[in-house]
Amino acid sequence: MIFQIARKEFLNNLLSARFIIGFLLCLILIPFSILLNIDGYREQTRLYQLSRDAAEKSEKEIRVYSALRPTVVFPPEPLSIFNKGLSGQMGNQVRIRLGEKPLLPEGRLATRDNPFLAAFFSVDFVDIAVIIFSLLALLFSYDALSREKEDGTLRQQMANALGRPKLLAGKVAGIILTLLPVLIFCFLLGAVLILASGHIAFSSGDWGRLALLAVISLVYLILFVFLGLLISARTKSSVTSLVVCLFLWVFLVFIVPNMSSYLAESFVGAPSRDALTLALRDLNKTAGKRIEDASKNLPGTDWEMSWYMNSGEDGYAEMYGCSASFFERERQRKAIAEPMRLDNADAKWGPQKAYLDGLARQAMAADRLACLSPAGIFRIAASAVCGTDRRAYEKKMDDVRRYRETFIRYLQGKSLFSSFAYFTPVPPSEFKPADHLVSARTGGRFKTLAEYDAWAEKQSDFRARWQVLWTVAVPGEKPEDHPFLVVSDLPRFSHRSASLTGGFEGTALFNGFLLFESVFLFALGYVSFLRYDVR
């Protein structure tokens, strides 16, 4: 009997206008969203390759270890085609620094030259599924009982000694059988478009996570079917049931998920980025003063000049043509400064961690509020399965911070902070005193630095003082005179791809919420139908 009822319900729904309209909507919107996001994925892949090549090139074109700052570039997540999550808001790379622990990803989000084109509106598969699946489920279930009551067929079926549990089970099965092909079609169409693209390679784990997303989508769809049946069993007319279902649909699908972020930001405090920037600036100033104070007692040099010197952020320094005493003082200064730089990074991690914790509290509050809606739960679970949620990015950043510690141990293991190789490629065997450098550069015109200084003081033309030092080019005093640094032994960052197991673990709680709400709504609908007046 249940099968016959389900078959009748399925055939009636299959020939209805709402099924045709719903199927056409999926046929139009699903390919549009997937094709659009396939194009976005290709763009992200192109950007990843450009950023990775630039990072590798920068590592190969350095001559000193103080310039060695690896850049970790994140590959795009394949399932971002179905749910972009945070992938459209976060950068794709992190540069490893000694003076600061990585906070958030950096880098460009798109390779488009025109920012107005880059802002083109797009939605992903999950956005459409949240709206379309819930709407179809309600449209097929809102009048499942009230319509037959109005037609008088429900009373006739009850008069034939048909049990209410069997009737309800048959109707539920019929509606689900009607919607199941639509859901399967959407995912199969997405899979076909990905395979036909020819540029996207899904691993077995990616296909498994996509299958898991399909199961979660089915649970989400069934939940709204039960909601529609509950409303149908609590109302006396189809019109009333439709109005109530549409109101709840708008409230649960649009209002609650969007209000959750606003309420979390309004009522859950978090440190501002400006305050963090000021705090880090103060710590950097304090650390800089400590380094200068500790460097005051270093021995002097016989000549305060370098023929070529370049410096930058995070302790970068590159020097050529210095006297032996100048090189030695700089070596001692680096041996003092770099450990202090690391200590300063540890000190800065306090306010950085507080800032991240504040952002995480707001995000968790928004998630909890969003869980008041099945649509919110579904979005959170979908982003976790696709590896585009907040937790996935937090894991990535934790891995990057651990890699930074590995990189620091690499530098410390080679004793580079106290090595000349940290700031100059010139071998110590080629270091010369100031007198030798002056004699060589002037072609023997001045034998000592004192002779040169005495002559230079008498020159009214300031440029003439320096031009004489260009008389003879001394080999090894330019960067081009030295080969690039070979860092083949540098530890590399290992990317951890999202796994099917991780998808199960990340969505277990939210899947439990969806199942609990589904069972709860079915129980309410069942009890309501047992008390339903079929007359």
pLDDT in tens, 255-282: 999 899 889 988 888 888 899 999 999 9
Provide the greatest CA pair distance for the chain.
123
Which pLDDT belongs to residue 116?
A: 45
Which pLDDT belongs to residue 87?
A: 80
Count the neighbouring beta carbons within 10 Å of the beta carbon of residue 373.
Answer: 24
Q: Which residues, at least 6 apart from 200, have a Cβ–Cβ distance to it below 8 Å?
A: 38, 41, 42, 78, 81, 194
Q: Which residues, at least 6 apart from 50, have a Cβ–Cβ distance to it below 8 Å?
A: 111
Which pLDDT belongs to residue 117?
A: 46
* Structure-token match 């003879």, residue found: 472
* Structure-token match 């076909």, residue found: 192
Helix (H, G, I), strand (E, B) or coil at 533: coil
Q: Which residues, at least 6 apart from 44, have a Cβ–Cβ distance to it below 8 Å?
A: 76, 80, 87, 92
Q: How far is CA 523 from the centre of its chain?
A: 40
Asked if residue 212 lies in contact with residue 507, where contact means CB atoms within 8 angstroms, the answer is yes
Which stretches of the chain drop beneath a pLDDT of 50? 111-121
Report strand pairing: 93-95 vs 71-73: antiparallel
Q: Is 41 exposed, middle or buried (0-12, 13-18, 19+ CB in 10 A)?
A: buried
Is-above-0.75 flag for pTM? yes
The partner residues of 311 in beta bridges, in order of sequence, read 317
**Which two three-digit tokens encode residue 330?**
């700089």
Asked if residue 154 lies in contact with residue 277, where contact means CB atoms within 8 angstroms, the answer is no
Which pLDDT belongs to residue 114?
A: 45
Which pLDDT belongs to residue 118?
A: 44
Q: Helix/strand/coil (H, E, C) string of 94-111?
A: EECCCCCCCCCCECCCCC
Which pLDDT belongs to residue 501?
A: 76
Which pLDDT belongs to residue 534?
A: 58
Report strand pairing: 308-311 vs 317-320: antiparallel
Which pLDDT belongs to residue 156?
A: 64
Give the torsion sign (CA, 467, 469, 473, 477). Answer: negative
The partner residues of 432 in beta bridges, in order of sequence, read 323
Cα gap 136→127, rounded to integer Å: 14
Cα gap 388→88, rounded to integer Å: 9
Cα gap 502→388, rounded to integer Å: 12
**Which two three-digit tokens encode residue 453?**
């200084």
Q: Which residues, at least 6 apart from 406, have a Cβ–Cβ distance to it below 8 Å?
A: 491
Which pLDDT belongs to residue 120?
A: 45
